[in-house]
A and B are shown apart, each in its own frame.
Chain A
Amino acid sequence: MVRLAELPEWDRKAKLEKVKELTGFDERPWVSPPPLDQCRIAIVTTAGVHRKGDRPFGPGATDYRIIPGDTKASNLLMSHQSVNFDRTGFQEDYNVVFPIDRLNDLARRKVIDSVADLHYSFMGAAQIRELKPKARELADLLKADGVDAVLLTPI
């Protein structure tokens, strides 16, 4: 991930402003998952990635798209609303954003236990707090899939 110091000043300021919208941790329990080699892991990205044929993300979208773990690279698109980030890396290799192959590598070598069947994608150019209802919905779906930990990948 890019370091704040490497961003242009206007972009750095915009990112730091967003921090103010985040919820605090004061009343949140710190949950320890099982050891890594017993963890089932899912990806939740805010990169606006989805499958061909899925409805593209619109301005301010707060809903999510489902990405089955066996989705082929040729079936992935990105409809993020922001144009202020590089897309050529994703076009060349989706793992720079959605590292499903890397997770599968780790599962094959038993570094992690397994990879979830389903992964999820939001479009990050939305009001953070407006994402909460769908995030709660997602938490239940992830639990139903037996997921122990989530890899959150921003863009």
Chain B
Amino acid sequence: MLGRPFGVPNDAAFQERVLLAALKLLAAPSGPVLVDYPEDAPRSDAAAQGVACPVSFALAATDDIGSAFVREVEELQPWHDRAMERRGRSMVGLSKLSVVDAAKVIARLLRDNVVDSIDGLSPGETIKLVCEDLRTYYYEAAAARPGTPDADAVQHWFWHDTAGGRAFLALHKQCVASADVSMKRLCNFSLVPRAVLLEMNKA
């Protein structure tokens, strides 16, 4: 899986074996050196069993997507709090906004097509930081439930089963149609994973 060059979270022994295999290449008498690492990364129990992410929310039919997103972010807070307690940290914090305020930024953009810039950044750069924080918040919250789901399950849950995923996809459409270069760049590369877009297009 891309994103895990040393393999498995919290598996110090596996990480060290990968690290040592790389460092031992320094002793090669000539180079460049290209060597396959023979050992597959262990899969989590959840991945082996195909466990789905257990967090789910019913969306009110009357909600507009931005309002549903903000409400969902608020309702996820207890799970994110649990994640913070377990890990002692969170990787939310790029935009310096609270997650509820970050969701409101996206809701406003979807409703009024307006972006309030952070630190003088372009609209696309501002929305990128806001979206990174929100996605991190969702993923961290999802990891807090018993029977921790694997990365694929969390990604599937976010993009298929949450108002957050729906809001990001709506935002993607809005960015495609935007005349702003920074927003176009955002939608081309930095908002929705290509695998998700391909899957959505097939469906």
Contact = CB atoms under 8 A, between A and B. Distances in A.
A8 B67 CA distance: 35
Contacts, number: 159
Contact of B2 (A35, A84, A111, A112): A84
Contacts of B128: 59, 81
Interface in B153-203: 154-155, 182, 185, 189-195, 198
Interface residues of A, number: 57
B57 interface: no
A146 interface: no
A130 interface: no
A92 B129 contact: no
A91 B90 CA distance: 8
Interface in B5-36: 5-10, 12, 15-16, 19-20, 22-24, 26-27, 29-32, 36
A56 B195 contact: no
Given A79-B132, A91-B143, A105-B16, A149 B192 contact: no
Q: Is the interface of A mostly helix, strand, loop or mixed?
A: loop
A92 B87 CA distance: 7
Pick the most buried of A82, A88, A153: most chain B CB atoms within 10 A of its CB: A88
Nearest to A153: B5
Contact of B23 (A58, A112, A125): A112
Contact of B19 (A78, A89, A106, A125): A106
7 contacts: A1-B5, A8-B195, A8-B198, A73-B88, A79-B94, A89-B8, A155-B2
Interface of B: 1-10, 12, 15-16, 19-20, 22-24, 26-27, 29-32, 36-37, 87-91, 93-94, 121, 124-125, 128-129, 132, 135-136, 139-140, 143, 151, 154-155, 182, 185, 189-195, 198
Given A59-B185, A97-B5, 12 more contacts: A2-B4, A33-B26, A52-B93, A59-B125, A85-B3, A86-B2, A88-B3, A88-B143, A91-B136, A99-B19, A106-B16, A153-B5
Interface of A: 1-3, 6-8, 10-11, 25, 30, 32-33, 35-36, 39, 41, 52, 56, 58-59, 72-74, 76-79, 81-93, 95-97, 99, 101-103, 105-106, 111-112, 125, 149, 151, 153-155
